[in-house]
Structure 1
């Protein structure tokens, strides 16, 4: 009864919210790709935006090749293809995370998908038309499916994801620091191969991106915009221009601690915690991390709910505040005073970032209980560190 009520409530919330962004980013993908296919330089494409200024295509050229089908299809066909891929990706990745820890898989999946669909990163990914979930499928397939099976192809999908969009490269680092050297080197080779193949197909775009576009950082949007939940975005909201020395120091501290814990989790066999911590590090360290990039709340919630009762309260806080879109309140026309300034304003405008920082410390590392012979008995529960 309670589950049916929750499903109905979330369904109503989706109906009320609607598609406020009208697949805006999918439209940019299509326009940029078609501009390129018409013979223009890919990175000369710009789209004016009242909030963000001039927006351009910021992915590597391999990302443009991957997006060509969306440009070739009419708008309705592109939206249909995108919707099918994204919904399937959400269902598949949620199953990979939930099924191993669920007693009743059907009920667990209904509950999980209801909660996951309500989280702002998932909701905004879909309504903006972002390709985030396709990249998440590649990452999780490598780490949760291919790697545990000892596949020689483990690492290929992470490499392809990094070639499409640079931020997944954090998982190559994660593989290397957690001593999965073969998979890490395979990922590097995969990313390099995709990049070199693209350079052979589109030499001008490749030269422009790797020598100029990447280093200028133009066309990615306003760093101080509230939707940017990265360390750089936080500093940009405090002072403009942000202090880059402070940013580098924060990134080094965050990456050092986060990847240390991710490595620790991977070495004791807790892959879900390891990949979640690595994903959080990538989001915090990137100069631009929009709210719809924060997928890693999803595996974090699975870990918190299944770890122990003391972690359940934190899971509820994440679910409620991220589900309500707390950092977006100032962007949705809601009154900003008296909450827009001072400590309340800082907390609200950086709330997802602060939750991610907290997760670096709070997310429990679960290792199999050991018997005296040093083996993990199948009947014993996991211990939490």
Structure 2
């Protein structure tokens, strides 16, 4: 005798209305929280954007680009530090009014937040049968709340452009084997040196063609800049690239890299280069090994996230607005926790949920304060943890961030129906 089928319980209008009301309240509460989080960050007053504009105005007047210097109360002096190809992109800002320039930075940044968050979160929501519209709205608001986004917007940084290029390449073009795979990573590396770590990721994952395309793209962009500004290009690649003092004090708390951690221990003296290089080799080797294993298991998101964390750790200077890579890390942890909620790997999933929740709290609320204009070293264990919170969190994630196997990510639609009936 066939088993009697069980129809899903009907949802009353009252239940549906209550669910909608709760979602609206959640969205409004998160939206109301944003002004409070952005208020301290507004003190930046688009500081970096103004440096770009003044440097471009200086350059357009015929002065050497890397001679531009601006006094700064914390760092002493700040300079234009991007590669010449980035200067070509920013050159029009010499002729824009401040309000137009701010709009030209902020609006694309907001669009980039929405697009990249959709790329990261929508597959997880659909896989677990969660409401896509509500989930994406909450996710975008949370991404806007975290420190890297706040700092990117209120400083006027180009970070989201780089993130869009990298994610489009490594989430779509490379896994799908597109002929232009690698172009996004190459352009990002030509604009700012940090994304060069993703070329190593392509090599570690044996994406030979994409690695070659990325390298050639970066080289062509660099040669284009050299053709336009040969003197400035020569100066940057032979001298300014190696002058870390041009981007600020390495012991400043906002520098959340391994070199920053060591600098805060040894201040006012600089840390030894050999210990730092040994740490860099150890962290880069382990992190890229884990990233390659994740990619081979079919988890491109975890692979590129681990690589971004490695890049932040090994760079001599990693400001907090560079640390976008905690955002995809939270997505991976939440996805692992939701998988565990279906009865598989429960303990691992609960741990992932705990780490992800802690990250949202720390990353969303903590703002690294101005520790003064003088050199400040780390005094005690509590001071060490507070001032190196993102470094320590990055190291933890290199170890615990789960690589989700392809088979674990496929959820049968009938299983979703059964879970809804049981729930």
8 Å Cα contact 1:58-1:219 kept in structure 2: yes
Residue aligning to 2:153: 126
Residue aligning to 1:105: 132
Residue-by-residue CA offset, 1:146-201 (whole Å, 9 max, x unaligned) = 22332111101110110011110000110111011100100000000000111111
Cα deviation, residue 15, structure 1: 5.7
Residue-by-residue CA offset, 1:338-376 (whole Å, 9 max, x unaligned) = xx7301000000001100000000100011228xxxxx9
1:254 is aligned to 2:254: no
**Residue of structure 1 aligned with 2:381, choices 333, 340, 343:** 343
Cα deviation, residue 330, structure 1: 5.2
Of residues 18-27 and 357-366 in structure 1, the stretch that sits farther from structure 2 once superposed is: 18-27
Report the number of matched residues. 370
1:95 is aligned to 2:118: yes
Normalising by the residue count of structure 1, what TM-score does the alignment of the two structures yield? 0.92
Q: Describe the SS at the equivalent of 2:284.
A: helix
Distance 1:222 1:165 in 2: 19
Seen in structure 2, the aligned counterparts of structure 1 residues 211 and 329 have a Cα distance that, compared at 3 Å, is closer
Seen in structure 2, the aligned counterparts of structure 1 residues 254 and 352 have a Cα distance that, compared at 3 Å, is same
**Residue of structure 2 aligned with 1:60, choices 58, 61, 83:** 83
Distance 2:38 2:252 in 1: 27
Distance 1:351 1:122 in 2: 17
Cα deviation, residue 8, structure 1: 4.0
Residue aligning to 1:315: 356
Q: Unmatched 5+ residue regions in structure 1?
A: 371-375
8 Å Cα contact 2:51-2:80 kept in structure 1: yes
Distance 2:311 2:302 in 1: 14
Question: Map of 1:223-372 to 2, 5 A cutoff?
Answer: 223-239=250-266, 240-308=269-337, 309-310=349-350, 311-326=352-367, 328-329=368-369, 331=371, 341-369=379-407
8 Å Cα contact 1:62-1:164 kept in structure 2: yes
1:138 is aligned to 2:194: no
**Residue of structure 2 aligned with 1:36, choices 45, 55, 59:** 59
Aligned-pair Cα RMSD in Å? 2.0
Q: Describe the SS at the equivalent of 2:44.
A: coil
Normalising by the residue count of structure 2, what TM-score does the alignment of the two structures yield? 0.84
Seen in structure 2, the aligned counterparts of structure 1 residues 157 and 15 have a Cα distance that, compared at 3 Å, is closer
1:27 is aligned to 2:50: yes
Cα deviation, residue 70, structure 1: 2.4
Residue aligning to 1:379: 412
Distance 2:399 2:29 in 1: 30
- Find the structure with the greater CA-based Rg: 2
Residue-by-residue CA offset, 1:208-255 (whole Å, 9 max, x unaligned) = 001111122331100000000000000000002112111001100000
Seen in structure 2, the aligned counterparts of structure 1 residues 378 and 222 have a Cα distance that, compared at 3 Å, is same
Seen in structure 2, the aligned counterparts of structure 1 residues 377 and 223 have a Cα distance that, compared at 3 Å, is closer
Distance 1:12 1:295 in 2: 20
